[in-house]
Structure 1
Amino acid sequence: MYDPTRLAALVAVAEAGSITRAAERLGYTPPALSQQLAKLEREAGTALLVRHHRGARLTDAGELLVARARRVLDELELARHELARLAGVSGGSLRLGTFPTAGVHLLPPALSAFRRAHPHVELSVADYDPPAGVAAVAAGEVDLALTHTYHPAESLPVPSSVRLEPVLVEELVLVTSPGHELSSASSRLPLAALAGQPLISMAPHHVARREVEALLVAAGAAPALLVPTPGYAVVCALVSAGLGVAVVPEMVARTAVTTVGVRPLEGGELRRTISVAYRADGVTPAAEAFRALLRGAFGRAHQSSQGV
């Protein structure tokens, strides 16, 4: 019988496109994840992955197993959700923290599904700019918090009482004014093509974005306008008005209120990971049920919608 942890590892590699990115998502080191995959290949009796210089791809056997693994993992998540209901998610409260993008685009459908399943749980939502939500979980102000990290970026310490569970990884993409020459094609744009372009920047004051912005400047983008607070709606509005270009999470670009051109970047190295923070020393049945719902509601579902 296949180990569900190893099946989840294979699915993560299929979705991330590389062992390194999958390891980041799952909280493993790349060597540890490679060991899990090697054990799964021995169990399967065949090669499941082909490693190459840009990552890894599935073999035919790997494609077959991933399709089955997704069904198995979805069923396990459903069982976890139903068991949480049996364990007493019929009352009590659930205190959630979120950040603006997740609060607008991800949290509402998840909370709606949770409310239908658990109508008697009292809900509250508070807004935290990452990484403040992690601190709020550590302090007991909220039960769970959606937070994010960027890559590349300096790793910030996480309190020992808190665990982070990645639920979604999205690429950063270029946004331009409508009809801009850089958004006229759908192919991936090399960072070097940003040389000389006026950049609407969120550095140096936004710590999470600092290394991303430094990489863009190193590629030749010319900082032209500084937005020191993490206000992506404002950034996209400024881009739409022709004041410069910007690099934002794909979810932000696709849901911008103002009209912008969108272009994927070559390499897929710039990305944002959205995680749920929870206390390691005890999770309420309501919080556990919501974590299970998050994994199903916009984890693999969002990846599928991106064509992975």
Structure 2
Amino acid sequence: MLDVHQLRVLTEVARTGSYTAAAVSLGYTQPAVSYQMRRLQQSVGAPLVVKAGRELRLTEIGAVLVRHADAVFSTLRAADQDVASVVARGGGLVRMAAFQSSCVTLVPELVARLRTTQRGVQVTVSQVEPADARRMVRAGEADLGLLCDWAGDDLPDGEGAMLRTELMTDRRCVLMREDDPLAVNSTVDLADLVSREWVMESFRDRFLAACTNLGFRPVIAATVDDVSAIQALVGSGLGISLMSELALHAHLAPGIVYRPLRNWPLRRTYALLWPDMATVPAVAAVLREVRSVAGELRDRFGAPEG
């Protein structure tokens, strides 16, 4: 029989890459971590970690065990949340992790809705990038994540055992001044923007790859991760930008317009959680309401359903 405490030690060793760092994180001594790992490997009958330079890496068996451990911890958290929800008569705390543009559109409307329909449910929100939200949900640091990716992409690593609920899609748009020559067009092609300067967010790998495929290297005039700051800099004439419709529906500065980018995949917004968490009344209520809010946003803004 596998020991839950030993599984927790294994997952922390996998996360930190060493017995010493895992001990610090867990509040154990390093010999205690070594002992628990030794006992777990004896129980399994095979090595679970191997040296890789100065770090420890999971063996194939270790990786399988960590995947199962994540599911075990999720079940335990769901049981704890479920009991707390019964005590709170259907209420409870739901921790959310959400990407930036959802925090200015989906999340505010969700919270307002919950205050009317689910008064006993409390929500906390952490704004993080999708990769961090995925990690937080997987590690139990968030009960539900709002994430995004691109239509046509493979399922991201780490989501195979989790519940993914599609919410909506939106388009990538070119943000420009209203007096820009391209503002007369209904859509814009990236190939038409070879000579332009850009105000871009830090995470722009897909954009850079697309520029490379077209044979040009974009001139980045500013790197900014705040939506309002991007719009202000575009309005000043520093450059143009790319932004998804979801953020633009929340606020569009005077003198700024946007045009959908042609031949670009739709961005998908979805909720991510462990299946066990979906049975917890408070979490189920939040998931139900966020699906409703996303549907209303699609209807209101004419966003493509994908």
TM tier, smaller? 0.5 to 0.7
For 1:260, the equivalent position in structure 2 comes to 256
CA separation of 1:228 and 1:271: change in aligned 2, threshold 3 A: farther
Amino acid at match of 1:288: A
Distance (whole Å) between structure 2 residues aligned to residue 226 and residue 280 of structure 1: 44
Cα deviations across residues 259-294 of structure 1 (Å, max 9, x unaligned)? Answer: 422112223x23321111111233211111211111
For 1:241, the equivalent position in structure 2 comes to 236
Report deviation, 1:161: 4.3
Q: How does 1:187-226 map to 2 (within 5 A)?
A: 187-202=186-201, 206=203, 209-219=204-214, 223-225=218-220
For 1:41, the equivalent position in structure 2 comes to none
Cα deviations across residues 41-97 of structure 1 (Å, max 9, x unaligned)? Answer: xxxxxxxxxxxxxxxxxxxxxxxxxxxxxxxxxxxxxxxxxxxx99x8632222222
Distance (whole Å) between structure 2 residues aligned to residue 260 and residue 297 of structure 1: 27
Q: How does 1:1-308 map to 2 (within 5 A)?
A: 90-150=90-150, 156-185=156-185, 187-202=186-201, 206=203, 209-219=204-214, 223-225=218-220, 227-228=222-223, 230-254=225-249, 255-257=251-253, 259-267=255-263, 269-283=264-278, 284-298=280-294, 300-307=295-302
CA separation of 1:278 and 1:258: change in aligned 2, threshold 3 A: farther
**In the alignment, is the contact (CA less than 8 A) between 2:96 and 2:145 conserved in 1?**
yes
2:209 match: secondary structure = helix
Structure 2, unaligned runs of 5 or more: 1-84
Percentage of pairs with the same residue: 20
Distance (whole Å) between structure 1 residues aligned to residue 268 and residue 174 of structure 2: 17
**In the alignment, is the contact (CA less than 8 A) between 2:102 and 2:247 conserved in 1?**
no
Distance (whole Å) between structure 2 residues aligned to residue 275 and residue 199 of structure 1: 28
Which deviates more, 214-223 or 233-242? 214-223
**In the alignment, is the contact (CA less than 8 A) between 1:153 and 1:212 conserved in 2?**
no
**In the alignment, is the contact (CA less than 8 A) between 2:114 and 2:121 conserved in 1?**
no
Cα deviations across residues 237-267 of structure 1 (Å, max 9, x unaligned)? Answer: 2211111111210122342346422112223
**In the alignment, is the contact (CA less than 8 A) between 1:94 and 1:123 conserved in 2?**
yes
**In the alignment, is the contact (CA less than 8 A) between 1:167 and 1:295 conserved in 2?**
yes
Report deviation, 1:226: 5.6
Amino acid at match of 2:191: A
CA separation of 1:91 and 1:303: change in aligned 2, threshold 3 A: closer
Cα deviations across residues 191-223 of structure 1 (Å, max 9, x unaligned)? Answer: 322232223344xx62xx312332145446652
Report deviation, 1:115: 1.9
Corresponding residue pairs, total: 217
Amino acid at match of 1:100: Q
TM-score (norm 1): 0.61
2:108 match: secondary structure = helix
**In the alignment, is the contact (CA less than 8 A) between 2:171 and 2:265 conserved in 1?**
yes
1:282 match: secondary structure = helix
Amino acid at match of 1:256: L
2:195 match: secondary structure = coil
**In the alignment, is the contact (CA less than 8 A) between 1:188 and 1:265 conserved in 2?**
yes
Larger radius of gyration: 2
CA separation of 1:233 and 1:158: change in aligned 2, threshold 3 A: farther
**In the alignment, is the contact (CA less than 8 A) between 2:102 and 2:246 conserved in 1?**
no
Report deviation, 1:179: 0.9
Amino acid at match of 2:173: V
Report deviation, 1:151: 5.2
Structure 1, unaligned runs of 5 or more: 1-84
Distance (whole Å) between structure 1 residues aligned to residue 245 and residue 237 of structure 2: 19
TM-score (norm 2): 0.62
**In the alignment, is the contact (CA less than 8 A) between 2:199 and 2:223 conserved in 1?**
no
Distance (whole Å) between structure 2 residues aligned to residue 190 and residue 291 of structure 1: 36
